[in-house]
Amino acid sequence: MEAIRAEQLGQRGVTDFLALSFSSPDYIGHQFGPNSIEAEDTYLRLDLEIKRLLEYLDKTVGKGNALIFLSADHGAAHSPDFLRSHRIPAGSVGPRIMRDSVQRELERRHGAGNWVLAYDNQQVYLNRPLIAERKQNLRQFQDEVADIVLNFAGVTRAITSDDLQKSHWESGMLMFLENGFFPKRSGDVLVVLEPGWLESYAYPVNKGTTHGSSGNYDTHVPLVFWGWHVRHGESRTPAAITDIAPTIASWLRIQEPDGCTGKPLVEVLR
């Protein structure tokens, strides 16, 4: 509201864009889980905050002159304890446990050495200079690590960076892995946990939660458009976050942003 006032946004005869992030649901959701009284409380407060902002927009730029979209960057899994209390298989595993377990097995097979540099974001980062020094084949070493990880509790899939770069998926779990893979920064082996299993930095997880899977509980989030030229209605047609920018651009009859890969949402634009 202060930015709108100080910059006279939407009041200068030009189109302005204001992006806001409401981060409390994320922090509280991670700490307490989606079924907690704390999560309920923060959403009630968020509803009041959004109401206050929309009323302020009506007073400053005029009713019907603001176009709003609201979405989220991810969903979240239920807390493992909550799932287990309903007899649904679930669990958590810490990054340090994963890293140390792979390291110990590689030492057993190939001798002493700092074989694993890190395990982060469900990815194994191998010590490539050491692998080359010991005259090991990197591709075969990655395959070996993938086989090792696949035997760990809570792991449903492991794929090497080499295999990921040689293939392409249009949908499903592996599409999500491919979309999040960057060759110069990602790990050597990517790990997929079973449904209901979490990577927990505070092992073991009790009532908190996290995200990072391809399940709908992680990837299915709301997308709401409201205000200027938006007609009442709803749609269950699949959409992606990348569709928002071309939809807004089409609405404003301007060129789509550089590097844009999404598509305009026809259901919204009708």
- The structure tokens listed for 208 are 């908190």
* Cis, bond preceding 238 (omega within 30 deg of 0): no
Spatial separation of the C-alpha atoms in residues 196 and 205, rounded to whole Å = 12
Residue 31: pLDDT over 70: yes
Instruction: Give the pLDDT confidence score for residue 203 in this predicted structure.
Output: 47
Supply φ then ψ for residue 109, to 5 degrees.
Answer: -85, -35
Domain chopping of the chain, boundaries: 2-83+215-269, 91-199
**How does strand 197-199 pair with strand 91-93?**
parallel
Instruction: Write the pLDDT tens digit of every residue in 113-165.
Output: 999 999 999 999 999 999 999 999 999 999 999 999 999 999 999 999 999 99
- The CATH code of the domain at 2-83+215-269 is 3.40.720.10
At CA 71, angle to CA 121 and CA 203, rounded to 5? 30
Computed over every residue of the chain, the mean pLDDT equals 92
Q: What is the DSSP string of 199-243?
A: E-SSSSPSS-----SSSHHHH----EEEETTPPS----S---GGG
Q: Which fold has domain 91-199?
A: Gyrase A; domain 2 (3.30.1360)
Residues 129 and 136: beta-carbon distance below 8 Å: no
Instruction: Write the pLDDT tens digit of every residue in 233-244.
Output: 999 888 999 999
Instruction: Write the pLDDT tens digit of every residue in 66-83.
Output: 999 999 989 988 888 888
154: helix, coil or strand? coil
Instruction: Give the pLDDT confidence score for residue 202 in this predicted structure.
Output: 55
Q: What is the DSSP letter of 136?
A: -
